[in-house]
Amino acid sequence: MEIGVLLAIAAAFGWGAGDVFVRRAMFGARPEAVTVVVAGMVLLALAVLVVVTGGAGGFAVPGTSFLAAVAVMGLLTWLSGNLLYFHGMQRAGVVVVSPILGMIPIFSIALAVTLGGERPSVATLAGALAIVTGVAVVLTDRKRVLQ
């Protein structure tokens, strides 16, 4: 479990650093262009990683239901999610929009309960409340939001 937590922290750091660079890139580019470039870079990096770690056989897929699930996930997270996020960042800035993206666990918990039949612990619900409280603090800070 410890390595999973460390990997998640490293991913959060990378995502946070990426937000700053994406915001700077959008000073001279449209969010749609940034989304296409980011998606292309991710596809290329993942393709190289697949070939290096698993060879060409790493591209084999179990079936059409798998492809459909991955396609839906890609549309929701990488394409539309990033496009909407980049538009938000361009208009409100990283300091406001990034904490809102931090609400991802709230949606994950809600979907895990409603669609996956999972039952969150009291600690999970307390963490969710802390996230909602933090986002509320950021969104109600008039000085920060109006800048």
**Tell me, what's the pLDDT at 41?**
86
Task: Establish if 41 belongs to a structural domain.
Answer: no
Sort 117 into a burial class: Cβ within 10 Å, 0-12 / 13-18 / 19+.
Answer: exposed
Task: Establish if 47 belongs to a structural domain.
Answer: no
Q: Mean pLDDT in each 10-residue stretch from start to end of the chain (147 residues)?
A: 80 82 83 86 85 80 81 81 88 85 88 91 94 86 58
Residue range of the domain that includes 8: 2-34+64-145
Task: Establish if 127 belongs to a structural domain.
Answer: yes
**Cβ proximity of 135 and 103 under 8 Å:** yes
Task: Establish if 140 belongs to a structural domain.
Answer: yes
Task: Establish if 50 belongs to a structural domain.
Answer: no
- The residue count of the chain comes to 147
Task: Establish if 43 belongs to a structural domain.
Answer: no
Task: Establish if 24 belongs to a structural domain.
Answer: yes
* Residue 99: closest CA among 140, 38, 146: 140
CA distance 146 to 144: 6
- The structural domain count of the chain equals 1
**Tell me, what's the pLDDT at 144?**
57
